[in-house]
Amino acid sequence: MTETRILKYREALNEALLQAMQGDENIFVMGCGVDDEGGIFGTTRAAYEAFGKERVIDAPLSENAIAGIGVGAAIMGRRPVIVHARNDFLLLAMDQIINHAAKWNFMSGGKLDCPMLIRAIVGRGWGQAAQHSQSLQSLFAHIPGLKVILPSTAYDAKGLLLASLQDNETVICIEHRLLYEIEEPVPEEAYTIPLGKGDVKRSGKDVTLVAFSYMVAEALKAATLLEAENISVEVIDPRCVAPLDMDLILESVRKTGRVVIADTSWKSFGASAEIATRIYESCLRELEAPIARIGLPDQNTPCASNLEKEFYPGVDDIVKAVQSLTHPHHNASDYIARESSPEHAKFTGPF
């Protein structure tokens, strides 16, 4: 009988990794701190306790070398899981990821696969600032041969991680740190969610709200507030930016005629721009209003907490964007003060 418990996002990752390693002896983990007591916020601890240093390998801060070892192991039949406490550190391993992991299958005429999972965490708050808070999903999604997933819930985190560890291409899993304490029912048994399959997090009929990662949580809060104004919002979580479930997005847009896209990264040249373009290409005449996008301004993340509150978009921005589509002449007032979210308040430090 399937048992469903309440798990936090980070606990779901921890369980998924353990179950995957129990089922496939070729899976091993590398990264700085994966074997310590904290175990990357607890997400590698169960695997270390079960398999020890033979399969959960602490590594120095040599990101390019770790990625190269991972690529070599993957094309020789192993399934490495590389963990970075911040996805900003991936920038040191771009040659191995883009010129090797993403291209081995193509260059070998399909004879060699590179089934590697790279987990990387987005920081926010506690002075994470410009070098520990970047959301780089668009950068990696730009490269053919890479898959990029952004689980937004504990259920999705487990299912997508297990699916990634059965995939034969390199998958980059971008996890937002503010999601780690969010909890929900998660089945105990192993299950997978197909990569590239989005999810309707909330049904609606007036506006489609496409959101990634932590912005899904913000979108659901905004949808609840807008319900009081009789504005019905459908929240779509693509779950993956590559491959992207455009069929699900377009189906919703054709129903509502209005779209807001909320990303955790910069607006310029990002995922929201790509989705907006594809919507315009496919169903321009079915839109009842221009597409609205929410993302970071073209600036680097400030360190000071008071500046952070102005920098990051949130529930209030989403509410105003939706109102601008449904009631364009309405003078919207602030629904939510720019204060730290509950998830933000729980974050007391990176380790």
Distance from chain centroid for Cα 77: 27
Q: What CATH number does residue 259 fall under? A: 3.40.50.920
Written as six digits, the tokens of 177 are: 């740190």
Residue 132: active-site member = yes
- Does residue 254 contact residue 234 with C-beta atoms inside 8 Å? no
Among the listed residues 84, 100, 132, 176, the single catalytic one is: 132
> Is the model's pLDDT at 142 over the cut of 50?
yes
One domain, residues 154 and 11: yes
Q: Sign (positive/negative) of CA torsion 330, 333, 335, 340? A: positive
- In the numeric block, the tokens 């053919």 are attached to 144
Count: domains in the chain? 2
For residue 327, what pLDDT is reported?
Answer: 85
Interval 6-32: pLDDT, tens: 999 999 999 999 999 999 999 999 999
Residue type, 71: V
One domain, residues 164 and 121: yes
Name the residue range of residue 212's domain. Answer: 199-326
Predicted TM-score (pTM) of this structure: 0.93
Higher local confidence (pLDDT), 4 or 26: 26
169 in a domain, yes or no?
yes
Q: What CATH number does residue 96 fall under? A: 3.40.50.970
Q: Name the percent of the chain lying above pLDDT 70.
A: 93
